[in-house]
Amino acid sequence: MAVSKKMKIVVVGGGLAGLSATMKIAEAGYDVDLISVVPVKRSHSVCAQGGINGAVNTKGEGDSPWKHFDDTVYGGDFLADQPPVKRMCEMAPQIIYLFDRMGVPFSRTKEGLIDFRRFGGTLHHRTAYAGASTGQQLLYALDEQVRKYEVAGKVTKYEGWEMLSLVLDSHQVCRGVVAMNLQTLELKAFPADAVIIATGGPGLIFGKSTNSQTCTGSAASACYQQGAKYANGEFIQVHPTAIPGEDKLRLMSESARGEGGRIWVPRKKGDKRDPRDIPESERWYFLEEKYPAYGNLVPRDIATREIFQVCLDGYGVNGENQVYLDLTHIPAETLNRKLGAILEIYEMFVGDDPRQVPMRIFPGVHYSMGGLWVDYEQRTNIPGLLAAGECDFSIHGANRLGANSLVSCVYGGFVAAASAVEYAKNVERKETETNGIYDSEIKRQQEINERIIKSEGPENQYKIHEELGKWMTENVTVIRYNDRLKATDEKILELMDRFKRISINDSNLWATQALPHARQLWNMLELARVITLGALNRNESRGAHYKPEFPERNDEEWLKTTIAEWSAEGPVFSYIPVDVSLIPPRKRDYSKPKEK
């Protein structure tokens, strides 16, 4: 197969980052093949609720991009390389304005300006929002713009295709991808001058999380297994407020606290009274008590650990793993206008009306700060391969602030687009380089498929996935102990061995979900080791990574980025310095207003 003379960029993933990149590339006049496992309008970005950060200073609080930058770096416990964070915060107001022009129905002030609300880890009103389904609204705006370019012939969508691997030439240069049609199982090579991976997070490694079922991290893991560096994998955000469920943990947005929601438990252990009958003096607002400056809006890593600890100490509501998130003191009209979408979710799945009764919530796995290593232009270590959005490691350091994910996805997509175009313009397109590489990669992937299809063992892939999720949630989330991390890695190795004896249990290969799931599962197992061993190695506590055996942040030894590289024997770890050239690291303390 020959590379066409016309420049072509492949974008994998159709969430906020992928669509942002696609829109920019198409606008610049270049062609995009957009590959997505689901119709792009159904990507996981729809689940983002609370809002998007940008220091527009509508409220006259003296907010500025620099303060946004400082909050982000401080909230991330100084593990983020700082220059791209600064650039993102400077671009954030423009990004919000662009979405405003694209027709996103942002909530408004009485003057008709975009309204802003508070979110965690800041003392400013910095979060623009569209009701409580901001991610959905932003995604739709991009979906609409990209559809326009689809009509114009600049973008070709391959929805219902899953990327399986990169196509690399003999110099390890990325020349495209191989993807599988999820109905026919056809394998197809997509030659490209540059590839942008924007495939989101790996929440499904933890079984139940706030993530969508598409968030397997499979594509990023495939890149890692082909030589892309994976950075800071051990940093997994557990969101303080989720609704536990049988099939998933449903997010209850931080905006609930941004609008005044209060977290509490009864002061008396096992108090069985109706929460509305418990007087104020017998309620323990533990976040407000411990963190007077930020209160319920401490960053997520801190809120999560506090809620977890309160439940471990036996103060959970009804003696169970749950605390109250209380909105009942806020007028119902305000709640409906500002938080309607998330209140509907609570009512739908729990049955109580959060306007009348405090919600019961518990932390749930939510976001990966770690991901594919990228430089300041979103380039991975593989020439021709870029990454953007949750699947890249940049911006958030050891802990992401609420409402920074949407802005980082769009920022990453925009930067990756410009960078991919620049690369593609200059890349050499020699036939000899690409001779046969597409066919041979298709053949390699076909062989993997056939091996799985033919496998007739006694093991069940869904049970293996369940076990993986249980072990990871139990041992590699809020509180981490080295002996348990070691045992978890041994468990993952056992699951990898058992994987070789699965049977896919589906004799009908048309539109089968068993083969794609098996391939995703293997990739999840590979990434699970990166997360677990990365956590085992890091003997300190920083942001979302907390070890009681090493309770303090240790900048002397651990102010460095974890890099994992794949080998047949398991991940090989190395460390590189963090760029702290703009703001010197200082200790985090949310009990008082931040020092500048």
Note whether 456 binds other proteins by CB under 8 A.
no
Note whether 24 binds other proteins by CB under 8 A.
yes
Which is closer to other proteins, CB of 183 or CB of 591? Answer: 183
Enumerate residues 232-251 that contact other proteins by CB under 8 A: 243-248, 250-251
Sheet of 155-159: strand order equals 155-159, 31-36, 8-12, 194-197, 385-387
- Only one of the segments 20-28, 217-225, 431-439, 489-497 lies at the binding site for other proteins (rule: CB under 8 A); that segment is 20-28
Neighbour-count burial of 6, counting CB atoms closer than 10 A to its CB (0-12 exposed, 13-18 middle, 19+ buried): exposed
Note whether 147 binds other proteins by CB under 8 A.
yes
**Minimum Å distance from CB 44 to other proteins?**
7
Which is closer to other proteins, CB of 39 or CB of 457? Answer: 39
Size of the site for other proteins (CB under 8 A): 88
- Given 462, 493, 586, 591, the residue binding other proteins (CB under 8 A): 462
Note whether 144 binds other proteins by CB under 8 A.
yes
Place of tokens 């007028």: 331
- Given 357, 386, 403, 472, the residue binding other proteins (CB under 8 A): 357
Enumerate residues 382-441 that contact other proteins by CB under 8 A: none
Catalytic residue flag (residue 300): yes
Which is closer to other proteins, CB of 146 or CB of 528? Answer: 146
Strand pairing report for 385-387 and 194-197:
parallel
**Minimum Å distance from CB 475 to other proteins?**
23
Of the candidates 194, 117, 514, 251, the residue with the CA atom closest to the CA atom of residue 382: 194
Which is closer to other proteins, CB of 271 or CB of 433? Answer: 271
- Which is catalytic among the residues 126, 262, 283, 300? 300
Q: What is the DSSP letter of 124?
A: S
Neighbours of 575 (CB within 10 A): 15
CB 372 within 8 A of CB 230: yes
Note whether 173 binds other proteins by CB under 8 A.
no
**Minimum Å distance from CB 177 to other proteins?**
22
Enumerate residues 258-317 that contact other proteins by CB under 8 A: 272-275, 317
- Given 455, 460, 482, 537, the residue binding other proteins (CB under 8 A): 460
Q: What is the DSSP letter of 249?
A: P
Largest CA distance in the chain: 78
**Residues across the chain:** 596
Note whether 23 binds other proteins by CB under 8 A.
yes
- Only one of the segments 297-305, 458-466, 468-476, 588-596 lies at the binding site for other proteins (rule: CB under 8 A); that segment is 458-466
Dihedral through CA 421, CA 427, CA 433, CA 434, nearest 10?
10
CA distances from 238 to 112, 234, 300, 509, 527 (A): 36, 12, 7, 37, 17
From CA 45, how far away is CA 139, in angstroms rounded?
6
Note whether 214 binds other proteins by CB under 8 A.
yes
Enumerate residues 517-576 that contact other proteins by CB under 8 A: none
**Minimum Å distance from CB 90 to other proteins?**
11
Note whether 467 binds other proteins by CB under 8 A.
no
Of the candidates 592, 578, 399, 360, the residue with the CA atom closest to the CA atom of residue 478: 399
Note whether 195 binds other proteins by CB under 8 A.
no
**Minimum Å distance from CB 501 to other proteins?**
16
Enumerate residues 55-114 that contact other proteins by CB under 8 A: 94, 97-98, 100-114
Buried b (16+ CB within 10 A) or exposed e, 263-285: bbbbeeeebeeebeebeeeebbb
From CA 418, how far away is CA 209, in angstroms rounded?
33
Enumerate residues 490-519 that contact other proteins by CB under 8 A: 505-508, 510-514
Which is closer to other proteins, CB of 353 or CB of 447? Answer: 353
Note whether 333 binds other proteins by CB under 8 A.
no
Note whether 27 binds other proteins by CB under 8 A.
yes
CB 101 within 8 A of CB 94: no
Note whether 255 binds other proteins by CB under 8 A.
no
Query: Which residues 6+ apart lie within 8 Å of 215 measured at CB?
Result: 44, 200, 201, 202, 203, 204, 209
Residues recognised as catalytic: 300
